[in-house]
Structure 1
Amino acid sequence: MPKISKKGQQMPESPIRKLVPYAEGAKKRGVKVYHLNIGQPDIKTPEVAINAVKNVDIKVLEYSHSAGFESYRKKLAASYQKINLPINTEDIIITTGGSEALLFAMGSTMDTDDEIIIPEPFYANYNGFSTASGVKVVPVISTIESGFALPPIADFEKLITPKTKAILICNPGNPTGYLYSKEEIFQLAELVKKHDLFLIADEVYREFTYDGLSHFSVMNVPGLEQHAIMIDSVSKRYSMCGARIGCIVSKNKEVMSTAMKFAQARLSPPTFAQIASEAALDTPLSYFDEVISEYKERRDILVNELQKIEGVQVAIPKGAFYCIAKLPVKNADDFAQWLLENYNFNGETVMVAPAAGFYSSPNVGLDEVRIAYVLKKEDLIKSVQILKEALSVYQK
């Protein structure tokens, strides 16, 4: 029988999606499942984006330019400039989601067996993108005790080898909700300049910041132009996960001309989704004010309710819409599966994402889960109530 590739064998399973069969089983048994496991917002997609696709008059559904519609890139650059990001049309290549932008970034800057340093826990698919690119992830651990703040720069420095090509951060962070401060970004900027590395920043949750804090982009660091690569996406900003439109942004001409070769190899990003994404740029600012205020309320409810459960420790997120909670269990994987297979409270249960899948270090985060606060407030209260009852039963 022909053999599967080593790369295919090493490709990690999604820690978020591997529990899906158990959730489906629970639903077939008539159990209601509250999904705290995936960052799929329930906020409505802006009407302006939906209407643009509904009202489109196309006779032939053509390829677009490999870099994406010029009209979209121009409008996107103008929208970045409005929030003081010094980005021009030629600094942008439109991609099929932020996922493809990350693959282009890795493909353009790293060779097989090169290394990328990532503070963990991190978005689980970074493992997948690295495996697909033949790149080795070198984790630097941040802890729940520090609220998942940037680890000391000395911790990064001791991991740098001749194989190190880049540092990758998610800001604000998935799965932690941590928002890096301006000072932390400057520390990283100094480090990558000193060692001649790239700093790749996944900034797809830029708008989602709380407590009067604001996001600081790698594109705003003076003197970092040749090192900074920004990843962006419409998925969370406009609640358009299914559009699969993102972009890779850099002032480094060599990076962008190389990424363009990858873009040409896959021909072009999807046309209808670009039409929707270009139109989404006309979304009124009031949309974001309402969304941010809604998420802040959800965060406050979730954190307050979790803090009431004995033995649960939670890091308070300052951005995005996730938090990591440490539970009084030995194995969160086992607990998450048990919640779906063997437990219900008045015919209801919850689905969480075991956090070990967000680390690449073995045996770390085994007692942690990621919770996405993308459900309405009454559902969050109910979910935490179920979690509390479930923990007391599970511990017995």
Structure 2
Amino acid sequence: MPKISVKGSKMPASPIRKLVPYAEQAKKRGIRVIHLNIGQPDIKTPKIALDAVKNANIEVLAYSMTEGSEAYRQKISGYYRKNGIEVAADDIIVTTGGSEALSFAMGSIMDNGDDIIIPEPFYANYNGFATAMGVSVVPIVSKIEENFALPPISEFEKLISSRTKAILICNPGNPTGYLYSKEEIAQLAQLARKHDLFIMADEVYREFTYDGREHYSILQEPDLEDHAIMIDSVSKRYSMCGARIGCLVSKNKEVIKTAMKFAQARLSPPTLAQIASEAALDTPQSYFDEVIEEYATRRNVLVKELQKIAGVKVAVPQGAFYCIAELPIDSADDFAQWLLENFEMNGETVMVAPAAGFYATEGLGHNQIRIAYVLEKDSLVRAVTILGEALQAYKKVR
């Protein structure tokens, strides 16, 4: 029998989706599963985006330009300009989701065996993208006790070798919700210039910041044009996860030229989704004001309820819509599966994402979970109540 590749066998399973079969079995048993495991917002997609697709006068659904339509990229450029980021349409490649942008970026700047430094915990699929590209992830630990702030730059320097090509951050962070300060971004920029590294910044949650804090983009940092690569997406910003539209943005012309070759190999991003995404850029600020207020309220409710459970430690998110909670158990993987297989409260149970899959260092995050607060407040309160009762029951049987 032919064998699969070594690369294929090393591809990590998603900690977000690997428990889906157990959730489906629970549903078949008549149990309602409250999903805290995945960042699928319940916020409505802007009507203007949906109407643009409904009203599109298209007789042939043709390929778009490889780099995305000129009109859409010009409009994205205008959006960034409003946010203090000066980039031209030619600095942008439209991609099939932020995921493709990350893959294009890694493929464009890294070779097999090269290293990329990433503060952990990090978005679990970074491991998958790196494995697919033959790149080695070098993790640097951020701690729940410090709210997952940027580790000291001196710790980054200890990890830099001749194989190091880039540093990757997510700002605001998935799964931590941490928002890097302007000072932290400046420190990373100085490090990149000193060691001639690329800085990749996944900024898909830019809009979602709380408590009066503001997002500072890697592309706002001066004298970093040759080093900075930004990843973006419409998925979370406009609650359009199914559109699968993102972009890679850089002022480094060689990066864009190289990424275009990867883009040409996949032909083009989806046409209808670009139409929806272009229209979404006309979404009024009032939409975001309401969404941010809603997420901030949900965050406050979630953190307050989690803090009521004995032995639970929770980091307070400053952005995005995720948080990491540390539980008084040995294995969050076992607990998460047990929740779906063996526990229910009034016909309901909870699905969470074990956090070990968001770390690259073996043994870290084993007692942590990621919670996505993308549900309305009553559901969050009920979910945390179930979680608290489940923890008590779990300790008795494990």
TMscore range, shorter length: over 0.9
User: 1:84, CA displacement in angstroms?
Assistant: 1.1
The CA RMSD over aligned residues, in Å, is: 0.4
1:223-372 paired onto structure 2 within 5 Å: 223-372=223-372
Amino acid at match of 1:337: Q
Amino acid at match of 2:206: R
Q: What is the rounded CA distance, in whole Å, between the counterparts of 2:102 and 2:149 in structure 1?
A: 23
* Residue identity (%): 72
User: 1:82, CA displacement in angstroms?
Assistant: 1.0
1:16-55 paired onto structure 2 within 5 Å: 16-55=16-55
Q: What is the rounded CA distance, in whole Å, between the counterparts of 2:158 and 2:83 in structure 1?
A: 36
Deviation string for 1:149-204 (max 9, x for gaps)? 00011111000010000000000000000000000000000001000000000000
1:187-206 paired onto structure 2 within 5 Å: 187-206=187-206
Q: What is the rounded CA distance, in whole Å, between the counterparts of 2:235 and 2:153 in structure 1?
A: 31
Partner of 1:66: 66
1:131-142 paired onto structure 2 within 5 Å: 131-142=131-142
User: 1:77, CA displacement in angstroms?
Assistant: 0.2
Where structure 2 has 5 or more consecutive residues not aligned to the other structure, the ranges are none
Amino acid at match of 1:283: T
Q: What is the rounded CA distance, in whole Å, between the counterparts of 1:153 and 1:113 in structure 2?
A: 23
Partner of 2:92: 92
User: 1:83, CA displacement in angstroms?
Assistant: 1.3
User: 1:87, CA displacement in angstroms?
Assistant: 1.1
Partner of 1:172: 172
Q: What is the rounded CA distance, in whole Å, between the counterparts of 2:368 and 2:129 in structure 1?
A: 23
Amino acid at match of 1:202: D
Q: What is the rounded CA distance, in whole Å, between the counterparts of 1:61 and 1:309 in structure 2?
A: 53
Partner of 2:104: 104
Q: What is the rounded CA distance, in whole Å, between the counterparts of 2:264 and 2:184 in structure 1?
A: 36
Amino acid at match of 1:329: I
Amino acid at match of 1:123: Y
Partner of 1:373: 373
Partner of 1:392: 392
Deviation string for 1:221-275 (max 9, x for gaps)? 0001100000000000000000000000000000000001111111100000000
Where structure 1 has 5 or more consecutive residues not aligned to the other structure, the ranges are none
With structure 2 as the length reference, what TM-score do the two structures score? 0.99
Q: What is the rounded CA distance, in whole Å, between the counterparts of 1:259 and 1:65 in structure 2?
A: 14
Partner SS for 1:272 = helix
Partner SS for 1:158 = helix
Runs of 4+ in 1 over 2 A off after TM superposition: none
Partner of 1:155: 155
Amino acid at match of 1:71: A
Q: What is the rounded CA distance, in whole Å, between the counterparts of 2:285 and 2:23 in structure 1?
A: 37
Q: What is the rounded CA distance, in whole Å, between the counterparts of 2:110 and 2:262 in structure 1?
A: 13
With structure 1 as the length reference, what TM-score do the two structures score? 1.00
Q: What is the rounded CA distance, in whole Å, between the counterparts of 2:186 and 2:83 in structure 1?
A: 19
